[in-house]
Structure 1
Amino acid sequence: MKNLKFLLTIGLFLSTFLNYSQQQPQGGKVKVTGKITEKATKLPLEYTTISLVNTTTNKITAGGITDDKGNFSFDATPGNYNVKVEFISFKPLEIKNKTISGNTNLGTITLESDATQLEDVVIRTEKTTVEIKLDKKVYNVGQDLMVKGGTVSDVLDNIPSVSVDIEGNVSLRGNENVRILIDGKPSNAINITEALKLIPADAIDKVEVVTNPSARYDAEGGGGLLNIILKKGKTNGLNGTIIGTTGYPDNHGLSATVNFKSDEFNLFTTQGYNYRSNPGNAFTNSEYLNEDNSTKSFVNETRDNDRLNKGYNGNFGFDWFLDKSLTWTNILNYRKSSGDNQDNVFQDNFDAASNYLYTRNRVNDEISASENVEYSTNFTKNFKKDGHKLTIDGSFSTNKDNNSALITDTRNDSSIVGLDQTLNNQKQNRNLLQTDYVLPIGKSSQFEAGYRGDFSELVTDYQVISNGVVQENFTNTLEYKEKVNALYTQFGTKFGKLSMLYGLRWEDSEIDVNQLQTNDFNNKKYNNFFPSAFFTYEFSEKSSASLSYSKRIQRPRGRFLNPFSGLSSNTNIFVGNPDLDPAFTDAFDLGYLKRWNKLTLNTSIYLNKTTDSFQFVRRGTGEEVNDVEVIQSTPINLATEYRTGFEFTLNYSPYKWWKLNSNFNFFRVETQGDFTYTNLAGDEITQNFDNVATTWSTRLSSKVNLPYKIDWQTNLNYNGPQNNAQGRSLGVFAANLAFSKDVLKDKGTIALNVSDLFNSRKRIVETYLAGSVNSYSEMQWRERQVTLSFTYRFNKPKNDKEKPKRTQQENGDGGDFPG
């Protein structure tokens, strides 16, 4: 639908141009400007045609089309005209006998939608999957075949500059210190990686990637932020999409997005259920060393994971257009999931001469249940002046995650030698209040100010019972309370081709980390200023450059703080650090954007300096389990990290039926710091973590429109090797493949995709700790997956891209300059 609108708009515009070019006007030209919006929502209408028709000859003599903000501007000869405004599926509007004698601003013109027009017409030309802008990248989910039947994690893993590792951790330009927002607000999930696997990809409209956010956003996330925008209906009347999915390994689901819109209300809901199996595997071959680095023993550990998850995700919301300038939005979200996870670990033990000794089998049967309820509300007041706006937001949620596991430990030469039970129950309450005010000043300046209060409390109750006895050293209740109050202001202005945006954010933080079992109470209070500055220079309409700076923070949370470990392996354990301090980042970014007819290039050079950065250290504990030393991994504040890099993203359309986009990222990470600890023997051990590591990653996506309404998409990804102070990770290549075909007069689409075509997506790590261990490990979190999906659309053209009601948080970014 949208593409038909675009083509007909272009046709009307060309007709306007041809008619106008044949005229021989007398006298000088004047400028005609204005803006066109949708009547019900006040959203701008792009590609709308506006024409000046001579009242005497009844011929079009001038005109233009609107840009993505609904604005138009064109030259005309002074005279008396009928002004015609036309946009497909909207009722045409005509202003008769308008005298144009000088430069004229027609103001804001509103069009009323006409749902009866062209309901069944579809043009297959599609908007590009990735839109490249100077300050951010926008990923349009609906155009990507790879994510059909998938989750938000699959969506993020397909976005340029973004990577999702085999455990679901998200990184931006190789930096895991990234902030994830949903509709402009922080996610309320306890475990964000698990929450992203519950939300179906079909519920997502688009994702905005902002590598260097302005003061408008909260300062969390030194690596940047990702804003996940959920679908909300736009088209009048009742319309929607239903998607059914099946796959192997088990990946079955049913979801629906339904919308009903009138001039007074917009009702929308998304409902989805999924049943997914995610088998995985891993192995670690370890050579344990004596103090003189001679071989002590060998242990070969293999692991099979069989994870099953059943989840429901639903929301219901409405926009109430109280009047032409005031909208009230309410949304209720509910998510519930349950899972079974069996972790089967075999440890083959050998002596120093590689003679086989025995095998231990450690089985971890884990059952999980999660429930999340969130209510959010928004008031948006638009004042008379274009861009003058006040928004008020509130979000209130509660989240429960319960996990229990039964761990059995057996030897092949004896009966059960261990029986452990773990309980990990978490409950989080989170309240968010926010208000933003935007005031345009003159024609090229803008003032903004706002407040955000973020208040959360997380209680983690962890218990370990071994052979019927509670293990006090593994049992604790951890209470985490966070109160963050923030104020911000920023001012933007434009002088000719130069745009500037200055911002300052102040955040007051109070953090409580209480270990109730050990009566260890830790309160931290601090407040910080977070300045930001952005400059953009437009060389031409198709070429521009930007320079930006912002200060960011990363607060440790959850698993990073909990000092009580899991027991899936009793020789390789993870332990949190409740004494972690926040890390602070100074981020600099120099970008350049160039557009050609078929090619768009965006390049960036960036530098991040992080103080008190989090680093994971592995160390021998001095404890042994059956003559095997226990190796502990824990996060610490390790001095200073310097991260520099170069990135470019390309969009290339060599033909109308073929679209390519590619991303390349090279970065260098330098860490400086020493870590000293005392082992059980009382020896003080110092590890030097000074290290310089370079690595790179690249991805290529190709989408081809084949005959018979068949689309073919291929994604290739490669993450290069990287050294660290305790070893290195090896390079990993992965490929995805997808096909789709439109059926039922384009009301339905069948899609087949294969994730990890060559079953090669693994994390491969080599580790060397002098006098302790030398190991090699491979881990595959999810094996190759084949998914088949069917999409049915009712009263909704395939390419009628839904535009969500945009809030100030969604629109805000470092490059949103006035003018």
Structure 2
Amino acid sequence: MKKIKIISTLLLLCCSLLALAQPNQTRAKLVITGTVIEKTSKIPLEYATITLKNTKNPKQIFGGITDNKGTFSVDAAAGEFDIIVEFISFKPTEIKAKQITASTNLGTISLEEDATQLNEVVVRAEKTTVEIKLDKKVYNVGNDLMVKGGTVSDVLDNIPSVSVDIEGNVSLRGNENVRILIDGRPSNAINITEALRLIPADAIDKVEVITNPSARYDAEGGGGLLNIILKKGKNQGVNGTFIGAVGDPKNNSLSGTLNYKEKEFNLFTTQGYSNRNNPGNALTNSRYLNSDNTTRNYMNETRENERLNESYNGNFGFDWFLSKSFTWTNIINYRRSLGDNTDNVFQNYYDANNVYDYTRNRINYEDSKSKNVEYSTNFTKNFKKEGHKLTIDGSFSSNSDRNLAYITDQATNTSVIGLDETSNIQKQSRNLFQLDYIYPIGKGSQFEFGYKGDFSKNTTDYSVINDGIPAPEFTNILEYKEKVNALYANYGFKVNKFSFLFGTRWEDSDIDINQLVTEDYNNKKYANFFPSVFFTYEIGEQTSASISYSRRIQRPRGRQLNPFNNLSSNVNIFQGNPDLDPAFTDAIDLGYIKRWNKLTFNTSLYGNKTTDVFQFVRRPNGDLQNGIPVIISSPINLATEYRVGFEFTLNYSPYKWWKLNSNFNFFYNETDGDYTYIDINNNPVYQNFDFKATSWFTRLTSKITLPYKIDWQTNATYNGPQNQAQGKSLGVFSMNLAFSKDILKDKGTVSFNISDVFNSRKRIYETYLPGQVDSYGEMQWRVRQINFSFTYRFNVQKNEKERKPRNGQQDDGGDFPG
């Protein structure tokens, strides 16, 4: 608590200094407003520029940019002005000799694309990699050199507030309860962690980080949500981008986007192929204990992994502009992956005096194959009134994963060779329907409501054959069915400098968890309301503060529920829990944002309370393997978790050639819960899982333009140590480097990057179970990676439809009206 007081005091002091540092500005007497849209599709144009030039005094110039709704507001003085509205690859519109004597609304200004410009001009203007907004952060993937030749997991691991551990688990502000969306829809992958490692980074346009979502979004994800937005061409005519990459360890990939747009339709496709090897390693050194905590024996386990993967990811779609206000979009996605994973495990056994006894070698050969097909459709209707909109979405997908493993087991103290065979076959289907309607009510207010139906079925067929004999204790078919129907409504309005958004979401869940072989059937039904409230106050033109509240849910899925899993280690086994209940989170967030010409500062203080939170516990199951107790790791609903923290993000451009972005997150975590299990002697064993822990995370990104227009980017990350219920994880530092150079008259770019320069990115942990085991472990999912890539663009700018805001301004975006 003392740490929290100190940090809170520093935060308040920092905010005070920033407020005092705001320069005095002379306010103009008049305000010029309006909206800029694309002529054909009526889509608002963000970052269009508006310039006012005084016809009598050419040195008197005023200007501004449009926000994410296409609206602008420019302070000006009285006089006669030529007004120019411009956007990259669009024909500019000019209003000649406009007399300005009072605040004026220019209405809606339509810009028409100019395809001829695409072949003649390459625009070097560049949007910042991270846009800081009041209710979210937007990460523009195309400007990050670190992810060239990488995957979506690499993208997420470079985003402020987001961390990806070495096993691929994603956390937001230290909380792994995160909802991941792709183009606003839940991922249809069976294993989202593996899916994120298959989609190439080059297919991603941007990622939205929303730490406290409103009722508009799914209630899933107590820690917030990440929305991954895929690329889709927008420019008139034929244009595209192609990227090839090679790396060591093997990381060969080829991807491209192609777009053809005419007045009535827009065709687009993204294709990607990769052939990768992700070697990793792990170790666990364990000291096994007697009931009085004296040493019984030792076992040191090491692992070497070779993960070979060949994957293809592609989509094809079209926008059909049925009228000026009605668009129909259809997209087909196909993803295929072939994997070959060799997991070589050595277990060295020692007696109580740490004298070597013998060695056991387990080799796990895995052959995996996955296939995913998805069709999505969208109808968008824009009505005459600005902001009046109806969208209807449908998504239908089928996914299959097959994993076959052959495990050999041989020890130096015996001539017997054991053989285990496992088969894990999963099939999933998912149908999603969604309707959203937005109706503006007067000036500065709007009402919206919608429906969403999410219906999925996942079947997991898992079996084990031990030395040619089926093992029924590890064999079952798990059938998971989930039906979620949701309704939501939001009402937002603005009064002077105050903005308000009130919303509620109702979700009805009907879930079946059936173990078909053991005939264990379990149905869970529950209906819940999820309210959300947002308040925003505009302190000044460049300063805003907010407070928000929302209620969230986390439903257990997949591996967490399946009681039958892999046997790569015969003494450390993960086992799911089909009786897990959902966890509920109440989240509150206080935000503050301040902007200067070269600096944007954003901070937030947040608190979460989660009931029935999931916690992984380790316990012996009573079996022995060569005298070593088998330890089961399984998730349970462990009472209540409290989480309080604060973070800040800084975007700073001290010079045109140097850009800095930093993110710091500190959190305090407290768990209140007890666990009791029955041991091999039929005696209850009580464990108290109450614990308090603090941890922190920081990342610094520097991008410098060197002589000869060479870009140099550095990412440095540190994950602080954290106590856990049965041990602790240690702090880890890692660094990435990247360089790039534009060639071929800026139509091409060559890049070189090193991921994990010091080969230090590992999960390091200590576990202590009194009377059972005391262990130390390290796990490195992927060793240091070196990549080279080449990008070629034709008929498209380096940063498509992007322009850096003037005066360092960026709109707040989000759900707030006005």
**TM-score range normalised by the length of the shorter chain:** over 0.9
CA offsets per residue over residues 50-93 of structure 1, 9 Å max, x none? 65887xx8999987444223223457799999865444532244
User: How far apart, CA to CA, are the structure 2 residues paired with 1:251 and 1:703?
Assistant: 24
Deviation at 1:683, TM superposition (A): 1.3
Q: Which residue of 1 is the match for residue 317 of structure 2?
A: 317
Aligned residues of 1:214 and 1:814 also touching (Cα < 8 A) = no
Q: Which residue of 2 is the match for residue 8 of structure 1?
A: none
CA offsets per residue over residues 468-504 of structure 1, 9 Å max, x none? 1110000000000000000000101111111110000
1:751 to 1:84, Cα distance in 2 relative to 1, 3 A: closer
**What letter corresponds to residue 244 of structure 1 in structure 2?**
G
Q: Which residue of 2 is the match for residue 49 of structure 1?
A: 50
Deviation at 1:266, TM superposition (A): 1.1
Does residue 709 in structure 1 map to residue 705 in structure 2? no
Q: Please state whether the residue corresponding to 1:387 is helix, strand or coil.
A: coil
CA offsets per residue over residues 261-308 of structure 1, 9 Å max, x none? 111111110001000000000111111111111111110111101100
Deviation at 1:249, TM superposition (A): 0.3
Q: Which residue of 2 is the match for residue 4 of structure 1?
A: none
Does residue 518 in structure 1 map to residue 518 in structure 2? yes
1:744 to 1:323, Cα distance in 2 relative to 1, 3 A: same
1:773 to 1:291, Cα distance in 2 relative to 1, 3 A: same
Aligned residues of 2:54 and 2:79 also touching (Cα < 8 A) = no
Deviation at 1:597, TM superposition (A): 1.7
User: How far apart, CA to CA, are the structure 1 residues paired with 2:260 and 2:403?
Assistant: 39
Q: Which residue of 2 is the match for residue 792 of structure 1?
A: 792
**What letter corresponds to residue 273 of structure 2 in structure 1?**
Y
User: How far apart, CA to CA, are the structure 2 residues paired with 1:798 and 1:98?
Assistant: 35
Deviation at 1:563, TM superposition (A): 0.7
Q: Which moved more, 1:89-98 or 1:339-348?
A: 89-98
1:383 to 1:306, Cα distance in 2 relative to 1, 3 A: same
Deviation at 1:423, TM superposition (A): 0.2
1:533 to 1:813, Cα distance in 2 relative to 1, 3 A: farther
User: How far apart, CA to CA, are the structure 1 residues paired with 2:415 and 2:812?
Assistant: 62
User: How far apart, CA to CA, are the structure 2 residues paired with 1:450 and 1:220?
Assistant: 16
Aligned residues of 2:50 and 2:83 also touching (Cα < 8 A) = no
CA offsets per residue over residues 497-532 of structure 1, 9 Å max, x none? 111100000000000000001000000110000000
User: How far apart, CA to CA, are the structure 2 residues paired with 1:288 and 1:767?
Assistant: 11
Q: Please state whether the residue corresponding to 2:708 is helix, strand or coil.
A: coil
**What letter corresponds to residue 50 of structure 2 in structure 1?**
T
User: How far apart, CA to CA, are the structure 1 residues paired with 2:715 and 2:76?
Assistant: 48
1:117 to 1:221, Cα distance in 2 relative to 1, 3 A: same
Aligned residues of 2:510 and 2:526 also touching (Cα < 8 A) = yes
User: How far apart, CA to CA, are the structure 2 residues paired with 1:665 and 1:815?
Assistant: 22
Aligned residues of 1:493 and 1:817 also touching (Cα < 8 A) = yes
User: How far apart, CA to CA, are the structure 1 residues paired with 2:74 and 2:654?
Assistant: 31
Q: Which residue of 2 is the match for residue 757 of structure 1?
A: 757
Deviation at 1:107, TM superposition (A): 2.3
RMSD: 2.2
Deviation at 1:122, TM superposition (A): 3.4
Aligned residues of 1:375 and 1:397 also touching (Cα < 8 A) = yes
1:32 to 1:743, Cα distance in 2 relative to 1, 3 A: closer
Deviation at 1:759, TM superposition (A): 0.4
User: How far apart, CA to CA, are the structure 2 residues paired with 1:389 and 1:465?
Assistant: 57
Q: Which residue of 2 is the match for residue 449 of structure 1?
A: 449
Please give the residue correspondences for 1:415-494 in structure 2 after superposition, counting only pairs within 5 Å: 415-494=415-494
**What letter corresponds to residue 509 of structure 2 in structure 1?**
S
Q: Please state whether the residue corresponding to 2:91 is helix, strand or coil.
A: coil
Number of aligned residues: 783
Q: Please state whether the residue corresponding to 1:465 is helix, strand or coil.
A: strand
User: How far apart, CA to CA, are the structure 2 residues paired with 1:88 and 1:237?
Assistant: 15
Deviation at 1:108, TM superposition (A): 1.4
**What letter corresponds to residue 171 of structure 1 in structure 2?**
S
The percentage of aligned residue pairs carrying the same residue is 71
**What letter corresponds to residue 164 of structure 1 in structure 2?**
V
User: How far apart, CA to CA, are the structure 1 residues paired with 2:767 and 2:387?
Assistant: 55
Please give the residue correspondences for 1:572-611 in structure 2 after superposition, counting only pairs within 5 Å: 572-611=572-611
Q: Which residue of 1 is the match for residue 181 of structure 2?
A: 181
User: How far apart, CA to CA, are the structure 2 residues paired with 1:692 and 1:205?
Assistant: 39
The TM-score, its normalising length taken from structure 2, stands at 0.93
1:728 to 1:59, Cα distance in 2 relative to 1, 3 A: closer
Q: Which residue of 1 is the match for residue 387 of structure 2?
A: 387
CA offsets per residue over residues 172-200 of structure 1, 9 Å max, x none? 00100000000111100000000011111
1:767 to 1:52, Cα distance in 2 relative to 1, 3 A: closer
The TM-score, its normalising length taken from structure 1, stands at 0.92
CA offsets per residue over residues 70-127 of structure 1, 9 Å max, x none? 2234577999998654445322445689887876533212111111126343354422
CA offsets per residue over residues 615-643 of structure 1, 9 Å max, x none? 00011112101100001100000000001
**What letter corresponds to residue 607 of structure 1 in structure 2?**
G
User: How far apart, CA to CA, are the structure 1 residues paired with 2:710 and 2:61?
Assistant: 40
Deviation at 1:801, TM superposition (A): 4.0
Deviation at 1:29, TM superposition (A): 7.8
Structure 2: where are the runs of 5+ without partners?
1-25, 804-810
User: How far apart, CA to CA, are the structure 1 residues paired with 2:631 and 2:343?
Assistant: 19
CA offsets per residue over residues 570-629 of structure 1, 9 Å max, x none? 000000000100000000111111112211111111100000000000111121011000
User: How far apart, CA to CA, are the structure 2 residues paired with 1:60 and 1:601?
Assistant: 32
Please give the residue correspondences for 1:635-654 in structure 2 after superposition, counting only pairs within 5 Å: 635-654=635-654
Aligned residues of 1:36 and 1:66 also touching (Cα < 8 A) = no
Q: Which residue of 2 is the match for residue 172 of structure 1?
A: 172
Structure 1: where are the runs of 5+ without partners?
1-20, 22-27, 804-811
**What letter corresponds to residue 564 of structure 2 in structure 1?**
F
Q: Which residue of 2 is the match for residue 780 of structure 1?
A: 780
**What letter corresponds to residue 818 of structure 1 in structure 2?**
P
Aligned residues of 1:234 and 1:802 also touching (Cα < 8 A) = no
**What letter corresponds to residue 817 of structure 1 in structure 2?**
F
Q: Please state whether the residue corresponding to 2:146 is helix, strand or coil.
A: helix
User: How far apart, CA to CA, are the structure 2 residues paired with 1:183 and 1:640?
Assistant: 33
Aligned residues of 1:276 and 1:310 also touching (Cα < 8 A) = yes
Deviation at 1:47, TM superposition (A): 3.0
Deviation at 1:799, TM superposition (A): 2.5
Q: Which residue of 2 is the match for residue 250 of structure 1?
A: 250
CA offsets per residue over residues 217-242 of structure 1, 9 Å max, x none? 01000000000011111111111111
